[in-house]
């Protein structure tokens, strides 16, 4: 989920329960939102450990360390009603990183967490503590540098004439809000829609990065926000998010449900991919329902998160950036899909330490999390089927934090 994840799991937004994406409720008495995280006492805290490779966790922790080292030391990060400074987070994660490099056992990790972190639980969906988990991955798509009779669908770079207007520069009440459009005949107007672009609005502008043979592949590159292009000679080139057309996202999953083509229980990334491929006569119109369009750039690095650094498979999550602390360590309890010996999809318990390093357009409120699964067939399978509830906890340095709102 960088701006690269403005569309992470957005495809499933309305289909995967509207309540899952709802913002925290506002108290009618105080006019304030209830805290999204609640600090747990030692007796309330679950056994937080991790039986997976500690070095992959160390890699993710290091990326958060890089982030905290670049922000102002006194910048505050909220854990419910408590706040911690960037310098406190940096010191805590630096010690955790050195510990993880020793390759500790799950038992030692659990002990370290108990001694060095306070634990905060997400209030989840409607204050129930239940969290809906989905997944995202890095698609790998066949491509060519020039079009031919098969490779005729372009992947576009961001046009230079796509203009971002920061509304806060004009009126303080709009601070943090922005619009993306273009200047036409002296007027700032909305940018082209997905349908406009797919009908040739950008054709001939020299913006083509590569050419693919399947428009559905390009659509899902945009859903994921990044990907890998694989050329006929085996060359691999990374695609990273560059921007959008600023048009509103509209869920094609919700559209199919409304048309009676699917049920909420059917809905998954895999279902949508299969449906579009099985109904090519409908695919263009269905994808055009979503006016939003993502532009890319070629990158030497792999996929990046909202912190500007890499995301780590199985160790990075996307959450609502307005609700949870960026870069912070977390612990998730859910189930993930795995392929059984007979090809069937089974569900396996998944208790894992992760880092909050991304955001997503459909990942809203304290009850939503998107797990980054990486690239390849297994990652695609997991992201395609992932839709499970569970629990989410955040870890903060053992300290006496400042109370939010008192500074």
| DSSP secondary structure string for all residues of 45-76 | -------S-HHHHHHHHHHHHHHHHHS-TT-E
Q: Does residue 34 surpass a pLDDT of 80?
A: no
Total number of residues shown for the chain: 407
Q: Are residues 131 and 180 in the same domain?
A: no
Cα(320)–Cα(367) distance, integer angstroms: 9
Question: Tell me, what CATH number does 9's domain have?
Answer: 2.40.40.10
> In this structure, is residue 11 part of a structural domain?
yes
Q: Are residues 125 and 29 in the same domain?
A: yes
197 and 158 Cβ atoms separated by less than 8 Å: no
Output the pLDDT for position 56: 96
Q: Are residues 163 and 58 in the same domain?
A: no
> In this structure, is residue 107 part of a structural domain?
yes
Confidence band (pLDDT; 50, 70, 90) for 33? Answer: low
Q: Does residue 9 surpass a pLDDT of 80?
A: no
Checking phi first, is residue 24 left (phi over 0); if not, alpha (psi -120 to 50) or beta? beta
Question: Cα angle vertex 3, ends 290, 234, to 5°?
Answer: 85
Domain boundary among 206, 223, 245: 206
Q: Which residues contact 53 (CB under 8 A, 6 or more apart)?
A: none
Output the pLDDT for position 231: 96
Q: Are residues 45 and 133 in the same domain?
A: yes
Output the pLDDT for position 19: 28
Tens of pLDDT, residue by residue over 255-290, are 999 999 988 888 888 899 999 999 999 999 999 999
> In this structure, is residue 80 part of a structural domain?
yes
Give how many domains the chain has, as a whole number. Answer: 2
User: What is the rounded (10 degree) CA torsion for 122, 66, 82, 305?
Assistant: -30
Residue-number span of the structural domain to which 174 is assigned: 159-206
> What is the spatial order of strands in the sheet that 163-166 belongs to?
163-166, 178-184, 187-190
Q: What is the mean pLDDT of residues 170-184?
A: 89
Q: Are residues 131 and 166 in the same domain?
A: no
Provide the mean pLDDT of the chain.
88
Cα(212)–Cα(155) distance, integer angstroms: 7
Q: Are residues 41 and 123 in the same domain?
A: yes
Q: Are residues 33 and 117 in the same domain?
A: yes
Q: Are residues 172 and 86 in the same domain?
A: no
Of the candidate ranges 18-32, 109-123, 352-366, the one whose mean pLDDT is the lowest: 18-32
Q: Are residues 112 and 168 in the same domain?
A: no
Domain boundary among 206, 222, 241: 206
Domain boundary among 172, 187, 206: 206
Q: Phi then psi for 133, rounded to 5 degrees?
A: -105, 130
Closest of 274, 256, 255, 155 to residue 215, by C-alpha:
155
Confidence band (pLDDT; 50, 70, 90) for 4? Answer: very low
236-244 and 117-122 as β-strands: parallel, antiparallel, unpaired? unpaired
Q: Are residues 320 and 195 in the same domain?
A: no
Which helix (DSSP H) or strand (DSSP E) does residue 381 occupy?
A: helix 377-385
> In this structure, is residue 109 part of a structural domain?
yes
> In this structure, is residue 260 part of a structural domain?
no
Q: Which residues pair with 334 in a beta bridge?
A: 350
> In this structure, is residue 262 part of a structural domain?
no
> In this structure, is residue 274 part of a structural domain?
no
Q: Does residue 388 surpass a pLDDT of 70?
A: yes
Output the pLDDT for position 180: 94
Report CA-CA distances (Å) from 276 to 12, 281, 284, 294. 14, 9, 9, 19
Q: Are residues 78 and 176 in the same domain?
A: no
Confidence band (pLDDT; 50, 70, 90) for 384? Answer: confident
Checking phi first, is residue 159 left (phi over 0); if not, alpha (psi -120 to 50) or beta? beta
Output the pLDDT for position 402: 52
Q: Are residues 125 and 178 in the same domain?
A: no
> In this structure, is residue 377 part of a structural domain?
yes
Report CA-CA distances (Å) from 108 to 91, 115, 141, 353. 20, 11, 41, 14
Confidence band (pLDDT; 50, 70, 90) for 10? Answer: very low
Q: What is the pTM of this model?
A: 0.80
Q: Which residues pair with 227 in a beta bridge?
A: 239
227-230 and 140-142 as β-strands: parallel, antiparallel, unpaired? parallel
Confidence band (pLDDT; 50, 70, 90) for 403? Answer: low
Q: What share of the chain is helix, strand, coil (3-state, %, to 5)?
A: 30, 30, 40
By three-state DSSP, how is residue 78 classified?
Answer: strand
294-299 and 76-79 as β-strands: parallel, antiparallel, unpaired? unpaired
Tens of pLDDT, residue by residue over 130-153, are 999 999 999 999 999 999 999 999
Output the pLDDT for position 386: 93
Helix crossing, 86-100 with 54-70: angle to 10°? 160
| 52-66, 220-234, 262-276, 292-306: which is most confident | 52-66
């Amino acid at each position: 989920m960088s701006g690269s994840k403005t569309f992470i799991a957005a495809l499933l937004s309305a289909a995967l329960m509207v309540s899952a994406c709802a913002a925290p409720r506002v108290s009618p008495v105080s006019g304030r939102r209830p805290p999204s995280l609640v600090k747990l006492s030692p007796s309330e805290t679950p056994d937080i450990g991790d039986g997976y490779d500690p070095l992959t966790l160390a890699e993710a922790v290091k990326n958060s360390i890089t982030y905290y080292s670049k922000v102002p030391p006194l910048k505050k990060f909220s854990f419910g009603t408590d706040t911690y400074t960037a310098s406190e987070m940096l010191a805590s994660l630096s010690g955790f990183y050195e510990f993880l490099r020793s390759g500790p056992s799950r038992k030692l990790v659990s002990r370290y967490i108990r001694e060095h972190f306070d634990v905060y639980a997400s209030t989840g969906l409607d204050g129930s503590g239940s969290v809906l988990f989905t997944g995202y991955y890095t698609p790998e798509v066949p491509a060519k540098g020039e079009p031919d009779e098969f490779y005729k669908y372009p992947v576009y770079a961001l046009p230079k004439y796509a203009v971002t207007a920061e509304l806060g520069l004009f009126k303080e009440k709009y601070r943090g809000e922005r619009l993306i459009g273009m200047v036409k005949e002296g007027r700032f107007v909305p940018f082209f829609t997905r349908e406009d672009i797919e009908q040739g609005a950008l054709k001939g502008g020299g913006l083509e990065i590569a050419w693919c043979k399947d428009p559905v592949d390009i659509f899902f590159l945009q859903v994921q926000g990044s990907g890998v292009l694989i050329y006929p000679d085996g060359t691999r080139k990374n695609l990273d998010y560059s921007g959008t057309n600023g048009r509103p996202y509209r869920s094609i999953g919700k559209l199919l449900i409304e048309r009676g083509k699917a049920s909420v229980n059917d809905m998954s990334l895999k279902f949508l991919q299969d449906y579009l491929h099985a109904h090519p006569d409908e695919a263009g119109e269905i994808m055009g329902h979503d006016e939003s369009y993502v532009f890319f750039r070629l990158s030497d690095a792999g996929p990046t998160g909202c912190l500007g650094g890499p995301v780590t498979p199985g160790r990075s999550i996307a959450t609502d950036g307005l609700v949870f602390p960026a870069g912070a360590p977390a612990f998730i309890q859910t189930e993930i899909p795995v392929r059984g010996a007979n090809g069937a999809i089974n569900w396996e318990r998944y208790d894992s330490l992760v880092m909050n390093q991304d955001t997503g357009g459909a990942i809203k409120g304290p009850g939503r999390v998107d797990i980054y699964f990486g690239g390849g067939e297994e990652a695609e399978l997991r992201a395609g089927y992932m839709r499970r509830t569970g629990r989410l906890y955040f870890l903060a340095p053992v300290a006496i934090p400042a109370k939010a709102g008192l500074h």
